[in-house]
Amino acid sequence: MTRAIAHVDMDAFYASIEQRDRPALAGRPVIVGADPRGRGVVSAASYEARAYGVRSAMPIGRAARLCPQAAFLPVDMAKYRAVSLEIMAILADFSPLVEPVSVDEAFIDLTGTEPLFGSPLDAVRLIKQRIRRDTELTASAGLAPNKFLAKVASDLEKPDGLVVVPPGGEAAFLAPLPVERLWGVGRVMGRELRELGVTTVGQLQRMPRAVLVRRFGRHGEDLYALAVGRDDRPVEPFEDPKSMGAEETYGTDCRDPERLRATLRGQAERVAAELRDGGFAAARVTLKLRYGDFETLTRSVTGEPTQDGLELYRRALALLERLGVSRPVRLIGLAASHLGPPGRSQLGLFDADVARRERLAAALDRLAARFGDGTVVPAALLSRRARRG
């Protein structure tokens, strides 16, 4: 049976929610993200703001220069997650196979749902109508025989678009698109393909597979499969997160080692709380540093799985000290990955302090759930706050 996979992608999600909830912003450029007087980044931009060249992940200062008349709003993640749950519930009414990719997009497998909703195309139209009716927001969608093609299709006619890739038309659909549309083709790979005279997917389709494998190894095989529209991955409804992390961009480049350490400690505690809330432990800790000249470095270490904030901090701090920071820092971040269920670590057998801290952390989580975040914080962070006050 030919599969029918849809990719549903909300249009300018954060900004559209703000325009919906604040009627005075309808039709105006809206930028959601950091304070425009600071040095953070854009989280989302309405289509009115995008007309001025504003894009997600752009430095907020540049966005303010490009579109000074925009309404600049802070990120309200709790509100966006609540709307996301509404949308995922709508999708679940059409199929049990829904795979959220982020808060604003998901794959849905509509194979075999014809007796309930008509053709897959009819089902996607109904999904878009339900989303508009129930949330007053628009979604773009792609419908195709696999996930890769559905994802590409959903991005081609935003906002409020619907693009269908019929079975048998996979290669023809992809042929005119730039080769950068293929997963895994970034700046470096794109440059290498251009050196081979390849700028479109159609040109890549005509290259002998053996040439791609010789040049790019196993990735060349994957590249060829995507170029002709092959992707056998199933829609997986309950995929666990691959990592959890926190970042902070300083208002002015940071030269204070104590402040870097304090920021890292706070991030470690937040990530640890998120791990415990999700029922995970992390074996790998990654430190991210971005200097004032935008050079970005990452360093990682792998150890016993943990969900203890102090243990995450100690590993990240060791990475920071190994780097020997000698330049002003613009951004610092900590990420925890290689996630698995808690309780598999051997640390508790040899380090009673770790086991005791993890029990204490669980108790603090219960206090935070009852009285709010920040009810109890590590003394190191409390003293830092007091000095700032």
Written as one string, the DSSP assignment of 281-321 is EEEEEEEEEEETT--EEEEEEEEEEE--HHHHHHHHHHHHH
**Residue type at 61 in one-letter notation:** G
> If 0-12 CB within 10 Å is exposed, 13-18 middle and 19+ buried, where does residue 2 land?
exposed
Backbone angles phi, psi at 288, to 5 degrees: -120, 130
Structure tokens at 45: 């931009």
**Cis check: omega of the bond before 36, within 30 degrees of 0:** no
From the list 299, 31, 8, the residue with the least C-alpha distance to 135 is: 8
- 355 burial (CB, 10 Å; 0-12 / 13-18 / 19+) is middle
The token pair that represents 34 in the structure block: 């950091």
Residues 30, 31, 34, 36: is their CA dihedral positive or negative? Answer: negative
The total of other beta-carbon atoms located within 10 Å of residue 111's CB is: 15
CA dihedral in degrees (243, 100, 230, 129; nearest 10)? -160
| Catalytic residue (choose from 48, 99, 105, 170) | 105
Residue 14: exposure state from Cβ atoms within 10 A (0-12, 13-18, ≥19): buried
- Residue 86 among the catalytic residues: no
Q: How far apart are CA 194 and CA 196, in angstroms?
A: 5
Around Cβ 110, how many Cβ atoms within 10 Å? 24
Q: Which two tokens stand for residue 69?
A: 């008349």
Residues tagged active-site: 105
